[in-house]
């Protein structure tokens, strides 16, 4: 493991012009670790954005194969980080070594997956409509379209995934794959981890001959505003709180040149338990659901924060079992003191609400989060109660009992946008409640059947997004290969000669990719 300097990364070099110091801390004890980091000055933030802008023309023009080699080199460097690195991440986040090792594999796997995307070429979206000079009364010109990277991207690291949603996480991987240099804002909860990963990225950039400003990283609180407002930045990737994401959206929209913000923010991920499933396996569902709620101390953006069911003897029995299972769950250490404070405040708000009852859970005490279970009046959901729909980030969930199917549908219409919605159902339920799916399709980005949402597969088909406030733009995903779409834009070439067309649009199809040519999909030359 390389020595930790605590300096910002600008154009391949280190910079420490500021005087304000930030302290890394042990997540379990709260004690200071022997690592200090220098908060970036506004000039350094500007320099980082300008370095990314200077790298953009060269990096965007590289063949997709070269960018793929860069991503694979990053993956190799991440995999080479040793046990001392894993121990450091555990120290900063209180996450177990097995979780970190798995997350590192996911992070390097994302890089390799995007390398495959670059090689297969579908990200270009190549379309060709050849000239029709004989068309009357107006001839059609030769029109060709493909997609290219937007420009420098600002990426904000998440607290709960120090690798997979952080320095070299999905936003960084998809932006680099799209041909967009990155300026990364390190999360204060794992700054030493961020430095080790940034070193790995820069080693990969050096080995593969990337331009110096292809990856930059800054430290500090409040520096994100300078970054988002810098005119060189052309898009933002963010995973975090609704408050933080909305602030970035407002900043970006208020710029002289507004830019898109792809923010993943807040979701309660409702789980609907239907009658026949409860009759067949209510105890097992209660046990499985409890495990999902407390997994990783509830620190997943897909944590099931709401359970909805229809009043019946079976539902009453299920709720009794769920309460029992939740009462047996131990306290766990959260990512950092700030996360624990937010969790405690969220619980206080729930307990103070007249329409929400506390079912089980020991009062918060000490530096660990204690699991909690609540039950809310269904009318709160129907009326769109704000507090009921606010994510409480931690090991807790709220049960909503509805009177019948009609009230269930009204309650679902009251839901805000979600990352996930889950149906626990048997075959008879799917038939009797077939009209639930169209409603849930309007509410969530990923629908699950007889599974639990606290696992996000990284693949071509995954959607980790959804209507606001789950994300700021429901048309995108921050996990899976379609994440690259967020950082691409289409460009059309009219009557350009073959010699100056992008490779993806040349008649000979030198990249050998699928293209839409005169309305037909083909890999052939034309």
Do 242 and 132 share a domain, yes or no?
Answer: yes
Instruction: Please report, for the domain that includes residue 22, its CATH number.
Output: 3.40.605.10
Number of domains in the chain: 2
How far is the C-alpha of 126 from the C-alpha of 121, rounded, in Å?
A: 9
Do 316 and 260 share a domain, yes or no?
Answer: no
Residue 509's CB is within 10 A of a number of other CB atoms, namely: 21
Q: pLDDT per residue over 416-430, tens digit each?
A: 999 999 999 999 999
- Which residue among the candidates 50, 264, 391, 407 is catalytic per the annotation? 264
Instruction: Please report, for the domain that includes residue 292, its CATH number.
Output: 3.40.309.10
Q: Which residues pair with 423 in a beta bridge?
A: 272, 449
How confident is the model at residue 1, as a pLDDT? Answer: 76
Do 275 and 338 share a domain, yes or no?
Answer: yes
Q: pLDDT per residue over 172-185, tens digit each?
A: 999 999 999 999 99
Pairing of strands 153-156, 235-239: parallel
Is 508 part of a structural domain of the chain?
no
Do 68 and 192 share a domain, yes or no?
Answer: yes
Is 158 part of a structural domain of the chain?
yes
Whether 2 has a pLDDT exceeding 90, the answer reads no
Do 224 and 296 share a domain, yes or no?
Answer: no
Residue 360's CB is within 10 A of a number of other CB atoms, namely: 16
Whether 437 has a pLDDT exceeding 90, the answer reads yes
Do 25 and 132 share a domain, yes or no?
Answer: yes
Q: pLDDT per residue over 19-64, tens digit each?
A: 999 999 999 999 999 999 999 999 999 999 999 999 999 999 999 9
- Which residue among the candidates 90, 249, 301, 401 is catalytic per the annotation? 301
The verdict on whether 146 is a catalytic residue reads no
How confident is the model at residue 364, as a pLDDT? Answer: 86
Is 2 part of a structural domain of the chain?
no
Average pLDDT value for residue range 268-285: 98
Do 211 and 314 share a domain, yes or no?
Answer: no
Is 523 part of a structural domain of the chain?
no
Is 496 part of a structural domain of the chain?
no
**In the chain, how long is the greatest CA-to-CA distance?**
80
Do 198 and 242 share a domain, yes or no?
Answer: yes
Long-range contacts of 336-345 (CB under 8 A, 24+ apart): 336/25, 336/27, 336/93, 336/94, 336/159, 336/189, 337/25, 337/30, 337/367, 338/189, 339/159, 339/189, 339/299, 339/393, 339/394, 340/367, 340/368, 340/369, 342/393, 343/369, 343/392, 343/393, 343/394, 343/396
Do 275 and 234 share a domain, yes or no?
Answer: no
Whether 467 has a pLDDT exceeding 80, the answer reads yes
Do 275 and 211 share a domain, yes or no?
Answer: no
The verdict on whether 297 is a catalytic residue reads no
Is 522 part of a structural domain of the chain?
no
Whether 98 has a pLDDT exceeding 90, the answer reads yes
Average pLDDT for the chain: 97
Q: Whole domain around residue 356: which residue ranges?
A: 270-449
Do 371 and 482 share a domain, yes or no?
Answer: no
Do 52 and 192 share a domain, yes or no?
Answer: yes
């Amino acid at each position: 493991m390389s020595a930790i300097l605590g300096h910002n990364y600008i154009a391949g070099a280190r910079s420490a012009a500021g005087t304000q110091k930030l302290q890394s801390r042990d997540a379990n004890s709260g004690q200071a670790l022997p690592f200090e980091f220098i908060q970036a000055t506004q000039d350094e933030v500007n320099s980082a954005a300008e370095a990314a802008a200077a790298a953009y023309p060269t990096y965007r023009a590289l063949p997709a194969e070269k960018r793929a080699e860069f991503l694979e080199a990053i993956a190799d460097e991440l995999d080479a980080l040793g046990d001392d690195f894993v121990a450091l991440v555990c120290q900063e986040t209180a996450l177990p070594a097995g979780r970190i090792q798995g997350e590192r594999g996911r992070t390097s796997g994302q890089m390799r997956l995007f390398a495959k995307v670059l090689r297969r070429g579908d990200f270009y979206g190549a379309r060709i409509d050849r000239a029709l000079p004989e068309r009357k009364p107006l001839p059609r010109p030769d029109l060709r379209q493909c997609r290219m990277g937007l420009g420098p991207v600002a990426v904000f690291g998440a607290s709960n995934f120090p690798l997979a949603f952080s320095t070299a996480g999905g936003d960084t991987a998809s932006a680099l794959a799209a041909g967009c240099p990155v300026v990364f804002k390190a999360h204060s909860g794992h700054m030493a981890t961020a430095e080790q990963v940034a070193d790995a990225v820069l080693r990969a950039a050096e080995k593969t001959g990337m331009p110096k400003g292809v990856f930059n990283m800054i430290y500090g609180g409040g520096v994100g505003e300078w970054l988002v407002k810098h005119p060189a930045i052309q898009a933002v990737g963010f995973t975090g709180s609704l408050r933080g994401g909305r602030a970035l959206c407002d900043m970006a929209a208020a710029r002289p040149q507004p830019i898109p913000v792809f923010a993943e923010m807040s979701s309660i991920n409702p789980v609907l338990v239907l009658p026949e499933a409860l009759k067949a396996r209510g105890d097992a569902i209660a046990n499985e659901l409890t495990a999902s709620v407390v997994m990783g101390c509830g620190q997943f953006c897909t944590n099931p924060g709401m359970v909805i069911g229809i009043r019946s003897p079976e539902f009453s029995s299920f709720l009794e079992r769920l309460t029992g299972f939740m009462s047996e769950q131990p306290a766990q250490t959260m990512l950092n003191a700030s996360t624990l404070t937010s969790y405690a405040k969220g619980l206080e708000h729930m307990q103070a609400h007249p329409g929400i009852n506390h079912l089980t859970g020991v009062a918060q005490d000490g530096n660990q989060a204690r699991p909690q279970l609540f039950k809310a009046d269904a009318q709160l959901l129907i009326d769109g109660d704000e507090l009921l729909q606010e994510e409480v980030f931690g090991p807790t969930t709220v049960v909503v009992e509805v009177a019948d199917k009609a009230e269930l549908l009204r309650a679902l219409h009251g839901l805000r946008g979600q990352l996930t919605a889950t149906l626990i159902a048997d075959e008879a339920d799917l038939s009797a409640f077939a009209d639930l799916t169209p409603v849930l399709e309007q509410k969530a980005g990923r629908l699950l059947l007889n599974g639990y949402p606290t696992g996000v597969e990284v693949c071509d088909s995954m959607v980790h997004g959804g209507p606001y406030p789950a994300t700021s733009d429901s048309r995108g995903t921050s996990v899976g290969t379609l994440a690259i779409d967020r950082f691409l834009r289409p460009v059309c070439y009219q009557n350009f000669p073959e010699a100056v067309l992008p490779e993806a649009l040349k008649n000979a199809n030198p990249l050998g990719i699928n293209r839409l040519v005169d309305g037909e999909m083909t890999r052939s030359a034309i």
